């Protein structure tokens, strides 16, 4: 918590960024991850969920939009469920983030690279044999889902 210098007892309000992440498993139990472009602002050359930030929309609407834009996957909001949340801050001065991970039980299409400036490849991975490097909170969320935990905190 940050404290305002003029009112030492009043905390400064820090808004959290809301991210949505797609967790899908193929018939073999492999999880879909994308290799982020090396010039990406965050985690370049690192494997990560299909993800995006909520704009003026619900979390599930954001997930459906991002899946189509990034990977040509068509998802019905009725086919998704929230399976894990990571409450994260990357550094003491970093912006706090609430990372919501949704599992899609069904989808249409095969993953395609639709934004090559952001993602170089989509690939399926065994949850117990994830690639290196992988975004740390992605790894934590996948482990949490496998263990049946709904929530992880990182960096606080």
**Which domain CATH number covers 82?**
3.90.79.10
For residue 12, the model assigns a pLDDT of 79
Q: What is the pLDDT of residues 70-106, one digit of tens each?
A: 999 999 999 999 999 999 998 888 899 999 999 999 9
Q: Is 12 part of a structural domain of the chain?
A: no
Q: Which residues neighbour 35 within 8 Å (Cβ) at sequence distance 6 or greater?
A: 45, 46, 47, 119, 120, 121, 123
Q: Is 134 part of a structural domain of the chain?
A: yes
Q: Is 99 part of a structural domain of the chain?
A: yes
Q: Give the structural domain span for 121.
A: 17-154
Q: What is the pLDDT of residues 17-32, one digit of tens each?
A: 999 999 999 999 999 9
Total domain count, the chain? 1
Q: Is 100 part of a structural domain of the chain?
A: yes
Q: What is the pLDDT of residues 101-135, one digit of tens each?
A: 999 999 999 999 999 999 999 999 999 999 999 99
For residue 7, the model assigns a pLDDT of 52
pLDDT at 4 over 60: no
Distance CA 145, CA 121 (A): 23
Q: Is 8 part of a structural domain of the chain?
A: no
Average pLDDT score, the chain:
93
């Amino acid at each position: 918590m940050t404290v305002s210098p003029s009112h030492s007892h009043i905390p400064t309000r820090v808004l959290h960024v809301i991210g949505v992440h797609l967790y899908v498993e193929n018939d073999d139990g492999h999880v879909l991850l994308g290799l982020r472009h090396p010039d990406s602002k965050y985690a370049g050359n690192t494997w990560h969920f299909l993800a995006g930030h909520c704009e003026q929309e619900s979390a599930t609407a954001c997930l459906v939009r991002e899946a189509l834009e990034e990977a040509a996957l068509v998802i019905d909001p009725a086919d998704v469920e929230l399976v894990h949340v990571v409450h994260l801050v990357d550094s003491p001065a970093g912006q706090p983030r609430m990372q919501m991970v949704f599992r899609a039980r069904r989808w249409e299409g095969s993953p395609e690279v639709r934004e090559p400036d952001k993602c170089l490849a989509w690939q399926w991975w065994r949850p117990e044999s994830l690639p290196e490097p992988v975004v740390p909170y992605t790894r934590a969320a996948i482990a949490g889902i496998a263990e049946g935990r709904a929530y992880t905190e990182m960096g606080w």
